[in-house]
Amino acid sequence: MATQRMIPSMVVDMLMQTNIKEVKLFSASDNVMEAFGGTGIGLVITMPNSSIDIMMVLEVFAEFWINNNIGKFNNSVNFRYVYIGTQPLSRRFFNQSFANCTEVLERTQKALSKNFGHVKATISHYTDVLIPVQKPSEAEFKDELKPVMARQCQFLKKNDAPIGVDIFPLLAVNDLFNYDTEFAFFENNSTSVFQDGNKTYSNVFEVMYDQYDAALEKLGCPNMTIVVGEIGWPTDGIPEGNVVNAKRFHQGLAKCIASNKGTPRRPGPIDAYIHNLADENANNKLAGTFMRHWGIYKFDGQPKFNIDFEGDGRDNTMVSAIGITHMPKRWCIYNNLTTNASGSYPSHDLNALFSNACRIGDCTATEPGGSCSNLSYPQRISYGFNMGFQGLSQKVLNSTCDYDGYGKIVSEDPSTESCVFPVEILAAEIPNFTGTVQKSPAYALRPLSRSIIPIVQFLFIFFNLMCTW
């Protein structure tokens, strides 16, 4: 979910230049899927959580959704999977659990089997479906979820479809390993390394993957094909969430995936979707402000850091989006007007104006631990004013920088060494098949492997990719 939206054709061009072979969409949008037509890129689409309960009203709704999101493009787009929801049983990221996801999974597969038998329905869960333990051998699903998970894994196994697990290593070490950030990386430098029987665990990714595998086995689903539905590292909004650590994590992950080493319980290739392509400045903050800062790209298609997707350890330059146009280089800032002779700031008025501006734009970078948390009070107010101004596309005629007389437009960049004051990008808008404007479509990808690596099964998540709507 984002207010900045790159044009889909530009994004697809960027992905093709990066030799991406598979993409996952988290919001099915006509103009986005049209951009993938004829590219040969494998496409995975996601049924949003908001649609899950709707699908339970009438069974025919699932067939209607499939026909509108796959049937219209099946001749030109290489569809692979349909994911039911995004972490539908998690209570970490949403204020409700979508308990009907199992029935919708079954209905969707039934609808797919009628006309699109090559496409499979599947589902992915965050690791909070497991009881909180450290050793994989002790892992189980939470008691109230065991019947649901057993039904899902048996159904997927019967239909020869994978099951997904979403792993966020920084959150996992904070929850289970006493904030030992080093255990989230792959260099084996942590003091949290431990033995579980005859197996040694040197990072939290191996732990969480094998916990999920062990829990599935205890439900009667051993050796299930497990896809890592989401994995990534936030670059803001949480301690240790920064660009340096994100680059280190993704480089280690790429090397791990390319090695085909697997985990202590499950040696061999692993499919993993990186979460995500670009930041989502309108995403919900229920779990924390870091939820808006998972992107490996900035909102304007510029990479935050370089990643060697082939896992060779080289500092390869990431491909940037071509053709992105920014709005004029102008910013809205606080004009430093005061209301009394002492020169004190009108904090009550300014704080209210700041809050209102941040309802339009994303100001999470100014919160504790964020990249803009060290701003002075006037700079912080300016940051909020600018985010609101950019969020409303710099509409000067509508006084979007007035802020009751406290705002002014400037042409000199107010950014600091650690805090960027962004400028909005230009983007077009087109309606989807329902006639409503589309917001925040999303993607996932698989890069082309070199011949020396048989198949680097490495997928990239472009969660709410900020495309045109």
> Domain coordinates of the chain in residue numbers?
8-323+428-462, 331-410
Q: What span, in angstroms and rounded, lies between the C-alpha atoms of 329 and 410?
A: 9
What pLDDT does residue 286 have?
81
Residues contacting residue 44 through CB under 8 Å, at least 6 positions apart: 22, 23, 24, 25, 79, 80, 81, 82, 83, 444
- Output 272 or 21, whichever has higher pLDDT: 272
Q: What span, in angstroms and rounded, lies between the C-alpha atoms of 63 and 192?
A: 48
Calculate the alpha carbon distances from 222 to 170, 266, 329 in Å.
28, 11, 57
What pLDDT does residue 444 have?
40
Region 336-364: mean pLDDT is 78
Specify whether the CB–CB gap between 26 and 441 falls below 8 A: yes
CB atoms closer than 10 angstroms to residue 308: 17
Region 262-282: mean pLDDT is 90
Least confident segment among 164-168, 229-233, 418-422, 452-456: 452-456
What pLDDT does residue 428 have?
47
Burial classification of residue 376, based on how many CB atoms lie within 10 Å of its CB (0-12 exposed, 13-18 middle, 19 or more buried) = exposed
Across all residues in the chain, what is the average pLDDT?
A: 85
What pLDDT does residue 398 have?
66
Residues contacting residue 184 through CB under 8 Å, at least 6 positions apart: 169, 170, 172, 173, 203, 204, 205, 233, 249
Phi, psi of 95 (to 5 degrees): -90, 10
Residues contacting residue 92 through CB under 8 Å, at least 6 positions apart: 126, 128, 171, 287
What pLDDT does residue 3 have?
64
**Token output for 167:** 């792993």
**Token output for 413:** 């960049």
- Output 425 or 204, whichever has higher pLDDT: 204
Q: How many Å is the Cα radius of gyration of the chain?
A: 23
Residue at token pair 């009394």: 340
Region 359-376: mean pLDDT is 90
* Res 447 pLDDT > 50: no
Instruction: Give CA angle at 169 (163, 173), nearest 5°.
Output: 125
Selection from 121-125, 188-192, 391-395 with the highest mean pLDDT: 121-125
* Res 269 pLDDT > 90: yes
Calculate the alpha carbon distances from 193 to 183, 201, 211, 253, 427 in Å.
8, 6, 15, 17, 48
**Token output for 118:** 């090559």
- Output 158 or 285, whichever has higher pLDDT: 158
- Strands 194-196 and 199-201: what pairing? antiparallel
Q: What span, in angstroms and rounded, lies between the C-alpha atoms of 298 and 305?
A: 10
Least confident segment among 23-37, 68-82, 174-188: 23-37
Q: Which CATH superfamily is domain 8-323+428-462 in?
A: Glycosidases (3.20.20.80)
Residues contacting residue 435 through CB under 8 Å, at least 6 positions apart: none
Confidence of residue 346 (pLDDT cuts 50, 70, 90): low
The neighbouring-strand residues paired with 124 are: 164
Specify whether the CB–CB gap between 419 and 375 falls below 8 A: yes
What pLDDT does residue 2 have?
67
